[in-house]
Amino acid sequence: MLTAPTSYPRKVLLVFGTRPEAIKMAPLYLELSKHPDEIEVAVCLTAQHREMLDQVIRFFGIPARYDLNLMKPGQNLHNLTAAIIEGMKPVLEDFRPDYVFVHGDTTTSMAAALAAFYSGAKVGHVEAGLRTFNKQSPFPEEMNRSITGRIADIHFAPTQQSRENLLREDIAEQHIVVTGNTVIDALQHGLRLIEEAEPESVRLLKQQLPMHRDVILVTGHRRENFGEGFLSICRALKRIAEHADAEIVYPVHLNPNVQGPVYELLSDVSNIHLIDPQPYESFIWLMNKSRLIITDSGGVQEEAPSLGKPVLVMRDTTERPEAVSAGTVILVGTDENRIVKETLDLLYDTERYDRMARLHNPYGDGKATKRIAQFLLTNHKHEYVS
Ligand code: UD1
Ligand code: UDP
pLDDT in tens, 281-314: 999 999 999 999 999 999 999 999 999 999 999 9
**C-beta of 221 in contact with ligand 1 (< 6 A):** yes
Summarised one tens digit per residue, pLDDT across range 179-222 is 999 999 999 999 999 999 999 999 999 999 998 999 999 999 99
Looking from the CA of residue 48, the nearest atom of ligand 1 is 34
Residue 4 is predicted with a pLDDT of: 53
Average pLDDT, the chain: 95
Q: Is the minimum distance from the CB of 219 to ligand 1 under 6 angstroms?
A: no
Residue 110 clears pLDDT 70, i.e. is over it: yes
Which of 125-134, 273-282, 353-362 is the least confident region? 353-362
The alpha-carbon radius of gyration of the chain (Å, integer) is 20
Confidence of residue 80 (pLDDT cuts 50, 70, 90): very high
Break the chain into its structural domains and give their ranges. 2-180+367-384, 202-357
Active-site annotation holds for 105: yes
Residue type, 166: L
Q: 27 CB less than 6 Å from ligand 2?
A: no
Of ligand 2's listed atoms, the one at least distance from the Cα of 287 is: 11
Are the CB atoms for 292 and 109 separated by under 8 Å? no
Rounded to an integer, the average pLDDT of 310-337 is 94
Mean pLDDT of 238-259: 97
User: CB burial class (10 A; 0-12, 13-18, 19+) of residue 272?
Assistant: buried
- Domain 202-357 of CATH type 3.30.360.10: no
- What does the pLDDT read at residue 358? 82
93 included as an active-site residue: no
Closest ligand to Cα 274: 2
How far apart are the C-alpha atoms of 145 and 104, rounded to whole Å?
A: 6
Atom 4 of ligand 1: nearest residue by CA position: 106
pLDDT of residue 6: 62
Active-site annotation holder among 31, 98, 105, 319? 105
Predicted local distance difference test score (pLDDT) of residue 7: 72
The SS3 assignment for 80 reads helix
Residue 152 has pLDDT above 60, yes or no: yes
Q: Over 90: is that where the pLDDT of 361 sits?
A: no
> Is 219 close to ligand 2, i.e. is its CB under 6 Å away?
yes
For residue range 3-52, list pLDDT tens digits in order.
Answer: 655 677 899 999 999 999 999 999 999 999 999 999 999 999 999 999 99
Residue 318 Cβ inside 6 Å of ligand 2? The answer reads no
pTM: 0.97
pLDDT at 382: 79
User: Is the shortest distance between the CB of 298 and ligand 2 below 6 Å?
Assistant: yes
Which atom in ligand 1 lies closest to the alpha carbon of residue 109? 15
Protein residue closest via CA to atom 39 of ligand 1: 255
Question: 34 CA distance to ligand 1 centroid (A)?
Answer: 31
Strand blocks (E) in the chain? 10-16, 39-45, 66-67, 99-103, 122-126, 154-157, 176-178, 215-219, 247-251, 272-275, 292-295, 311-313, 329-331
CATH of domain 2-180+367-384: 3.40.50.2000
Nearest-CA residue for ligand 1 atom 20 is 49
List, for residues 116-129, the tens digit of each pLDDT value.
Answer: 999 999 999 999 99
Asked about 150 being catalytic, the answer comes back as no
Contacts of 330 (CB under 8 A, 6+ apart): 310, 311, 312, 313, 324, 342, 356
pLDDT tier at 144, thresholds 50, 70, 90: very high
- Domains 2-180+367-384 and 202-357 equal at CATH topology level: yes
